[in-house]
Amino acid sequence: MARYRLTIEYDGGPFVGWQRQDNGPSVQAALEAALAKFTRETPETIAAGRTDAGVHALGQVVHFDLARDWEPAKLRDALNYHLRPDPVVVVDAAAVPEAFHARLSAVRRSYLFRILNRTAPPALEVGRVWHVDRRLDVEAMHAAAQLLVGHHDFTSFRATTCQARSPLKTLDRLDVRRVGDEVHVDAVARSFLHHQVRNMVGTLKLVGDGKWSPAEVGGALASRDRRAAGPTAPPDGLYLVAVDY
């Protein structure tokens, strides 16, 4: 019995999300089907982050156990062969100790949210960015974001369906910056609540639009009520960039 860790990249567009569900294709089901094809084993795969429908990954991390030993590079190449034509790719594979757990051992998760901030819609980046046509005030968004950094009760930014036991989280970094005609939001924490990044981005967008002051974001956080914060940003612009252990 050996445990393997994969780093995977995927286009979240065609999937109902990471997790296997009855209502459509999931990244997990695609990966497990590819694994079964050549290992003839059917391990459960466990991911660092259960990304939602439409959310992309550049560096999702997954672990699973196999009875047979595999050379990691062969595992990677065989998976990539059998994953086609699904837009899921194994960037890296490694054998890891049995104590390694993709979700529980993670100490830091990094997300990127991309906003295309120009009048014209995307031609090349359809489904990969949130298109916001009015120019956003990035400095005000960044200032507001700093009010969310730190250890807080994030109830206001948590999906009402979130199953986490506690709404208390420590947000290490939330940076907003302009990159060409895009606005990028970088979010880093040990872990996030369900929809937390998208709810923070949807709220910061109100600040970028001039509808809210940065202080109102602090007020929304303090009220501990989902209805006090802004709407959920669409999944298209969200990327799970990296998981650290």
Q: Report, as residue numbers or ranges, the catalytic residues.
A: 52
Rounded distance, CA 208 to CA 180, Å? Answer: 16
Residue 56 is a binding residue for a copy of itself (CB under 8 A): yes
Residue 71 is a binding residue for a copy of itself (CB under 8 A): no
Residue 58 is a binding residue for a copy of itself (CB under 8 A): yes
Residue 82 is a binding residue for a copy of itself (CB under 8 A): no
Rounded distance, CA 62 to CA 204, Å? Answer: 31
Tokens of 89: 């790719």
The stretch among 47-55, 80-88, 187-195, 199-207 that binds a copy of itself (CB under 8 A) is 80-88
CA distances from 238 to 154, 184, 241 (A): 19, 10, 9
Residue 179 is a binding residue for a copy of itself (CB under 8 A): no
- What's the closest the beta carbon of residue 19 comes to a copy of itself, in angstroms? 18
Residue 76 is a binding residue for a copy of itself (CB under 8 A): yes
**3-state secondary structure at position 39:** helix
- What's the closest the beta carbon of residue 82 comes to a copy of itself, in angstroms? 13
The contact mask relative to a copy of itself for 156-175 (x = CB under 8 A, - = no) is --------------------
Contact 62, 47 (CB under 8 A): yes
DSSP state of 52: B
Rounded distance, CA 141 to CA 216, Å? Answer: 12
Using CA atoms in the order 165, 230, 174, 107, what is the torsion angle rounded to 10 degrees? Answer: 20
* Peptide bond preceding 214 in cis form (omega within 30 of 0): no
Residue 38 is a binding residue for a copy of itself (CB under 8 A): no
Residue 154 is a binding residue for a copy of itself (CB under 8 A): no
State the residues that interact with a copy of itself by CB under 8 A: 8-11, 56, 58, 73, 76-77, 80, 87-92, 118-124, 126, 128
